[in-house]
Amino acid sequence: MTKKKGLLDFVAETTFIHILFSIILGFAVGAVFLAVMGLSIGEAYGRLVSSVTSLKGFTYVVVYSVPYIVAGLSVAFSFKTGVFNIGAEGQFVMGSIAAACVGILFGNLPKILLIPMCFAAAMAAGALWGIIVAFLKTKWGINEVLSMIMFNWIAFYLSNFIAGIPAIHSDGNAEATKNISSNASMLFSKEFTKSAGLAPTFNWGFIIAIVITILVWLVIEKTTLGYELKAVGANRHAAEYGGINVNRSILTALAISGALAGLAGSLQLMGMGNRISVFSSQEGFGFAGIVVALMGCSNPFGVLIAGVFYGALIYGGSKLNLVGAPTQLINVIVGTVVFFISISVIFRNLKYLKKTKATGTKSGEAAK
């Protein structure tokens, strides 16, 4: 219990300054690696900046960032309620394959009906994946981190299995599903994106991401449900004493978090992917969601900004090989950022130790 409380406290206390500092250090470490490899730092970072600041580049960034934002919201929501949703990966996969099935099998339905149906299917599938884990935890006390790792892989293989079913599988030789019906696609018309000079995959997803961000903020901050979930996250026993049904809260929290991750999966599919490939390794959107949630201090609006930042790194990073720098540099930078976010706690501890030294009180409590 205290373990989760620690994480929650941690997330709550991480501030914008820590994040900014960590990002600067991340780029500094990236620069060191570039220098060691004998590459020009200015050229590489210049490329990174120039590829995301053009109109076309920026619209690509927006397109890339949509699934990261929503997956980040999923994880941030779970953080707020005291659960570490490492299972977002599986929920994302379930959401995308569910949306793909609906988008392929009901392709004849009009857009206005089909798109909401795809979203609904994705959210239901993601929520189901969250609920199963919550149920295993509340009913049999099974460690949720363990079962989430298991269900990530079950989702992975289930998605591959479904992609292989003849009704879903691509008609051609591709190891993937059929393309979803154009009625399920959220792309802007080709003529529009071309004439405006935007990325060809520019789509409605970002509006949905913004709406979801506001909704999540409203639920967490302005509703009784959000209050109850936060209370459970902050102190399970106190919440129970206060008359909150803790088991039901965990179930609700993971269902909502799962639904968000599932929605992220459908947004990726209907905005960009258009079909689901047979995976050979986990795609990592859910894990990216963890990073985005951390960089966004688990605040919905912070997550929105962090998601765009992450999308920019991923898109800009894919252009790094044009100047001879490995794209993996981005992972090193992001990893360093997360690393420094994790140790930003030291500044608070320093402050704490100073204070206790001054007053002479015992600091044993700090270990709690």
Partner 1 sequence: MTNFINELGIVLYATLVYTTPLLYAALGSCFSEVSGVVNIGIEGMMTAGAFTGTVIAYFTGNPWIGFLCGGLAGALFGMLHALATVKLGADQTIAGTAINMLGPGIVIMIAKVMFNSTDTVPLTATQKIPKLFTGLFDTSTVFGRFMDNVFATYASTYLVFLAVLVVWFVFYKTRFGLRLRACGEHPQACETLGINVIAMRFGCVCISGFLSGLGGACVTMAISTQFRPISIVGQGFIAIAAVIFGKFRPHGALLGCLLFGFCSGLKVVLGGSSGVNMQLISMIPYVVTVLVLILFVGKSRVPSANGKPYIKSK
Residues that bind partner 1 (CB under 8 A): 2-3, 6-7, 10, 33, 37, 84, 86, 136, 140-143, 145-147, 149-151, 153-154, 157-158, 160-161, 164, 280-282, 287, 290-291, 294, 326, 328-332, 334-336, 338-339, 341-343, 345-346, 349, 353, 356-357, 362-364, 366-368
**Torsion over CA of 55, 57, 62 and 67, rounded to 10 degrees?**
170
Q: CB 255: neighbour CB atoms within 10 A?
A: 19
CB of 271 to partner 1, least distance (A): 25
User: Least separation, in Å, of the C-beta of 181 and partner 1?
Assistant: 25
- For residue 220, what are the contacts with CB-CB under 8 A and spacing of at least 6? 77, 80, 226, 229, 230, 300
Q: Dihedral of CA 314/317/318/319: which sign?
A: positive
The nearer residue to partner 1, 6 or 42, going by C-beta atoms, is: 6
Q: Which is nearer to partner 1, 14 or 201 (CB)?
A: 14
User: Could you tell me the CA-to-CA distances from 29 to 286, 307, 315 in Å, in that order?
Assistant: 25, 21, 20
The nearest distance, CB 314 to partner 1, in angstroms, is: 12
CA proximity to 289, closest of 76, 10, 63: 76
Nearer to partner 1, 117 or 338 (CB): 338
Report in angstroms how near the CB of residue 282 gets to partner 1 at its nearest.
7
- Rounded least distance, CB 194 to partner 1, Å: 34
Closer residue to partner 1 in complex, CB, 33/202: 33
Sequence letter at residue 313: L
Residue listed under structure tokens 């460690």: 143
Residue 173 sits at φ, ψ, to 5 deg, of -90, -5
Assess contact for 268 and 96: CB atoms under 8 A: yes
Residue number, 4 or 178, with CB nearest to partner 1: 4
Least Å distance between CB 285 and partner 1? 14
- What are the two backbone dihedrals, phi and then psi, of residue 158, each rounded to the nearest 5 degrees? -65, -40
Q: Specify which residues 38 forms β-bridges with.
A: none
Those residues with Cβ within 8 angstroms of residue 260's Cβ, 6 or more apart along the chain or in another chain: 70, 71, 73, 74, 77, 123, 126, 212, 216
DSSP SS3 for 69: helix
Nearer to partner 1, 190 or 362 (CB): 362
Nearer CB in complex with partner 1: 18/230:
18
Q: How far is the CB of 10 from partner 1 (least distance, A)?
A: 5
